[in-house]
Amino acid sequence: MTPEQLKASILQRAMEGKLVPQDPNDEPASELLKRIKVEKEKLIKEGKIKRDKKETEIFRGDDNLHYEKFADGTIKEVDVPFEIPESWEWVKIDQLAQAKGGKRVPKGMKLQEEANSYAYLRVTDMKDETILDFKIQYAPKQVRDAIKNYTISSEDLYITIAGTIGNAGTIPKKYDGALLTENALKLVLYPLVNRFYLLRAINSPAIQNQFKALFNQVAQPKLSIRSTNSTLVPLPPIDEQKRIINKIDEMIGLVESYSESHQSLKLINEEFPDKLRKSILQYAMQGKLVPQDPNDEPVEVLLDKIRAEKQRLFEEGKLKKKDLQESIIYKGDDNSYYEKKEKSDSLIDDFIMDTVDNWSYKRLNDIILINTGLSYKKEDLNLDSSGVRIVRGGNIAPMSFKLLDNDYFINKKHINNESIYLKKNQLLTPVSTSLDHVGKIARLKQDYPNTVAGGFVFQFTPIVDSNVLSQYLEYYLSSPIFYNQIKEITNLSGQALYNVPKTKLVQLFVAIPPQNEQLSIIEKVEQFFHLIGQLQQ
């Protein structure tokens, strides 16, 4: 249960007479209503308020049903929201308070942020049953003089009637006499009415559900004075009202403590699946998720296939001679790691992985061809889906790729080589993105004809086209081991944008197990990820 649901439940129980016990010695609410009516008559005689010629009265009949008596003497049964204790009464808001509207700023006039004595309270200022201070606007004297009769007192309640509808609150003394927006009403309470009880009642589901039933019937939801006045309120004896308010205040304090714990738990629940996935990938890429099998075909067999494929691409003119150069990474007698390039050996100071005996460690460009996507001019882009689709960073999520409705397209005449179309087993990652999205990797599970990567996307193509190798690389490149390497080389390239330089990216380390172990890792990771998905559901 959320804190909001818990608070609503407390208020609802309070309005049903279930939050505090009834005291048979309390004066019943019917007597309170009589005394409120006497006070109201005094105000009418003093000319402070006008008599409502359409005023009605709700009473409980001998059959225990509720009825409404109109000014002309007619009586109609009232469908009350729920049963209340015998000592309570159902009343309409206009029996407890007079609702009055606010006023909009006259056309051609403007408010100002500079503080003066004429605060103008808007719906955006009305939250958490009070007035928020940090965005208050003020009326110049010209505006104040034009709408000076539309003010609200610190003894009144506000009710928002447009935008955010039905929220009630009190007015701090510092805003006593402030001007009131046309999108809110003020409730001027009659003597003997408990302002804080009425406030809690209005914000409870008992009344909020009545408001919703009213504005759900119209195209442009808005509460009127008439509909507000006719809203039913459960009224307890005056002493019970005080006990209810004290109990609500006590429990709301506990709800606030609960809210802190709930938010912490919510954050844990939101972060836990992702952290668990990363932890599993970390173990997998350290050789700890599945056991090593000494009978597996050596990883050198796979590396030989990669070398042979690179040689073929070189002979076809698709690779340069320098692309055939390969470094050998090995562990020396001193337990340090070295890299052999051509005739020289050098110490690798930044090697960050623990060794697994039957695995091999390579630079990224030894096993993957890395290209940036298509460069284009903005004026050449369009939304015509008959062209070539261009995918960008937004199409890439961690280990997930999808086409979007707002993808751009480019005329096919700008494509010089159809080999750049996206193909199954390629991997994509952003070149330049926000820090939160640096290092996200997506694997393509199918060919995407007439679709290319944009210039701010790296396109990784495994030199050997293999489902197993491609999927293993997706998991490896998504693991914390690889992410930590990418984070080290990422540069801030502009306001809030981070750039991954290709020259450094190609030099990052990748651990390659034997192919059978790659398959075992994939199967085990998928098994765990499936269980995590079930936990989330």
Q: pLDDT digit string (tens) for 201-219?
A: 999 999 999 998 877 655 5
Residue with structure tokens 């402070």? 48
pLDDT of 352 higher than 70 = no
Report whether 478 contacts 399 (CB < 8 A). yes
Q: Are 65 and 201 in contact (CB under 8 A)?
A: no
Q: Which residue has the higher pLDDT, 289 or 493?
A: 289
Question: What DSSP designation does 448 have?
Answer: B
Q: What is the pLDDT of residues 321-346, one digit of tens each?
A: 888 888 888 888 888 888 887 777 88
CA distance 439 to 428: 10
Question: Tokens in use for 502?
Answer: 């290709």
Backbone angles phi, psi at 72, to 5 degrees: -85, 5
Across the range 94-111, mean pLDDT stands at 93
Weakest mean pLDDT among 28-37, 106-115, 317-326, 329-338: 329-338
Mean pLDDT of the 20-33 span: 95
| Residue whose C-alpha is closest to residue 19's, from 290, 247, 213 | 247
* Predicted confidence band of residue 40 (pLDDT cuts 50, 70, 90): very high
Please tell me the total number of residues recorded for the chain in this structure. Answer: 537
> What pLDDT is stored for residue 220 in this prediction?
66
Lowest mean pLDDT among 98-107, 353-362, 474-483: 353-362
- For residues 437 and 444, give the distance between their C-alpha atoms in angstroms, rounded to a whole number: 18
Q: What is the pLDDT of residue 419?
A: 86
Average the pLDDT over 62-68 and give the result.
86
Least confident stretch, 19-33, 59-73, 108-122, 403-417: 59-73
The pLDDT of 191-203, averaged and rounded, is 96
% the chain with pLDDT above 70:
96
254 has pLDDT over 80:
yes
Single pTM value for the model: 0.60
Under the banding of pLDDT at 50, 70 and 90, the label for residue 282 is very high
Cα gap 498→477, rounded to integer Å: 18
Q: In the chain, how many H helices and how many E strands?
A: 12, 33
H helices present in 286-338, as ranges: 299-315
The pLDDT assigned to 378 comes to 86
Instruction: Quick: pLDDT tens for 484-525.
Output: 999 888 887 666 688 899 999 999 999 999 999 999 999 999
Task: Give the chain's domains with CATH numbers.
Answer: 3-236 (3.90.220.20), 299-536 (3.90.220.20)
* pLDDT the model gives residue 349: 74
pLDDT confidence bin for 365, thresholds 50/70/90 = very high
Q: What is the DSSP letter of 343?
A: T
Question: Please, which residues have CB within 8 angstroms of residue 486's CB and are 6 or more apart in sequence?
Answer: 438, 439, 500, 505, 508
CA-derived radius of gyration, the chain: 36
Count CA atoms within 13 Å of residue 350 on its CB side.
12
Q: What is the pLDDT of residue 494?
A: 63
Average pLDDT estimate for 171-191? 96
Q: How confident is the model at residue 386 (pLDDT cuts 50, 70, 90)?
A: confident
pLDDT digits (tens, 9 = 90+) for 449-474: 999 999 999 999 999 999 999 999 99
pLDDT, the chain, mean: 90
Q: Six-digit token pair at 424? A: 């199954």
Q: CA 191 to CA 96: how far, in whole Å?
A: 9
